[in-house]
Chains A and B, each alone.
Chain A
């Protein structure tokens, strides 16, 4: 192992993907549809330069207006989110970081995106998905540990110590990229001082003992280059 002081590093089954999500529904519903379609328990995904809207007093399943009003429209410039859907909910739980702007300057730089957020048109997403299993994580739900080699792992304070015995020696944390899967609910304004995105080597100040981390081995980064590049876009 590398010189890290991480707890419970557990290799998990993961699959990179790219897809289109439909928009118009609340983002939490749209992303739940994506997870369902791909049979994922959860995912870490990135969306770039996507138009958004937040329509006041619109029921989550009500049709959107035919015409968008500038008062409730804007754009996500960059969004990286951990998404999972606790059964039997119809909507996903989203946490992560983003940069965005609203056309209504009175909304200013509110530090959180609202739960009622919608994509204003279908969007292209890149990400890495995780299959359902019995490993409990804070941000990714119950994911599937693997007995064979994997290039992806989670370091989670939630894991049962016995889980971490699985192939831990096979995961080379000396050469990995890390993403901080913080547990703050829904999307927060990206702030360079409060998040440490992908980094190699791993920066110790991220590890406060309670933070959940996603780790991807550097050797497979080429395969996932576009995804990782997108996640780094504003870091």
Chain B
């Protein structure tokens, strides 16, 4: 339970708010490159600001404020000729990174980008997409750093044919085994959770102790302030930001990164367009149609009865909390270790900015930021005594075989 005052402090993102000020010290995903095929400028609603994205006279991407109507919807994609740029407003820098335009909504010098895999992989090995969730960014993030939820929310009552797993979360087999991830999550639902603070955020390890002295090891990451990096399959990871449109809506931006073959972007795009509307990237399953809930499916196939796309499960869980989760009524427990640890970093960073100490923010030391690589993110099964070594070696092996420079030394 936290007070309404503190909840407001860590959730609201408008200009001049504590959390909004913090997020404005980090590069934010603002648009997909695939959205820029039409003429410019393009409308971008970000951190409560109504902006326009275009190229300046030097050909660089920039954002600035645009004129808005009072009845404008939260997610708004007008034609370029309907966008009126306001003069004398701050011009924010933006850069393109493997399919995503990142913007820095601050007049201070932006930090460098760390050497995360999603940024340094070849363009052929990264696929980017986004989706709309109608809720505050923080609850969208916090579900992603709760390793226990997957055993319930994403429980499949049987294991799908692994041949059909490409591009889908939790449908592959564990590295170097024939054991489906769905089996592990379903049968071992009470993970031991370890959380380690790193120079980029948190490394979160979920250990599911299995039979015969073996342990399933799933390593995920929280990248400060509002991203996660998690395994998708044996060869792919997802780096996913939860970017506020305003206080009550956010986009997830995902950069799928392959350590193996080039990504079949056409297939992954088609898979996701089955579930999303353009140009808003709003999910077709949503509150208005009960997220596709089917009682028969819930009885026989899935825990939620909401289909096989785990994004829908997460969307239902976080939107169901309300536009901004009422944390005056929450009761965190010991399995919420990563959330507890994350909020500590978040509150410390907000406090540091209130005291004028920008240097205390994670990933704000440009001398060190280029040395931030990875992060390690995989699923393995190991002898319990050597789980850490097995996970690390599997990561090194995958990196060594990678066609782009995935080295971490």
Contact = CB atoms under 8 A, between A and B. Distances in A.
Interface residues of A, number: 25
Contact of B340 (A20, A66, A68): A20
A120 B1 contact: yes
A20 B1 contact: no
Interface string A209-234: 00000000000000000100000000
A123 interface: yes
Interface string B336-347: 110011001001
A193 B139 CA distance: 42
B2 interface: yes
B16 interface: no
Interface in B301-344: 328-334, 336-337, 340-341, 344
Given A68-B328, A121-B332, A51 B344 contact: no
Interface string A62-78: 00101110100111010
B351 A122 contact: no
Nearest to B345: A49
A24 B330 CA distance: 12
Contacts of A226: 197
Interface string A11-37: 000000000101110000000000000
Interface string A177-189: 0000000000000
A122 B5 contact: no
Contacts of A75: 6, 347
Contact of B3 (A24, A68, A77): A68
Contact of A121 (B5, B197, B340, B351): B340
A124 interface: yes
Interface string A113-140: 0000000111110000000000000000
B334 A66 contact: no
Contacts of A51: 1-3, 6
B334 A122 contact: yes
Contacts of A70: 3-5
A165 interface: no
A23 B332 CA distance: 9
* Majority-rule SS of B interface residues: helix
Nearest to A22: B334
Interface residues of B, number: 22
B287 interface: no
B351 A77 contact: yes
A50 B333 CA distance: 15
Interface string B1-45: 111111000000000000000000000000000000000000000
Interface string B53-91: 000000000000000000000000000000000000000
A53 interface: yes
A121 B334 contact: no
Contact of B329 (A20, A53, A67, A124): A67
A48 B348 contact: yes
Contact of B337 (A20, A24, A49): A20
Contact of B1 (A50, A64, A74, A123): A64
B2, B336, B337, B351 interface centre (most CB from chain A within 10 Å):
B2
Nearest to A77: B351
Interface of B: 1-6, 197, 328-334, 336-337, 340-341, 344, 347-348, 351
29 contacts: A48-B344, A49-B344, A49-B348, A50-B344, A51-B1, A51-B6, A53-B1, A66-B329, A68-B1, A68-B2, A68-B3, A70-B3, A70-B5, A73-B2, A74-B3, A75-B6, A77-B351, A103-B6, A120-B2, A120-B3, A121-B330, A121-B331, A121-B332, A121-B340, A122-B332, A122-B333, A123-B340, A124-B337, A124-B341
Given A20-B337, A103-B3, 16 more contacts: A20-B334, A22-B334, A24-B331, A48-B344, A48-B347, A49-B347, A51-B1, A51-B2, A64-B1, A68-B329, A70-B3, A70-B5, A73-B1, A75-B347, A103-B5, A121-B2
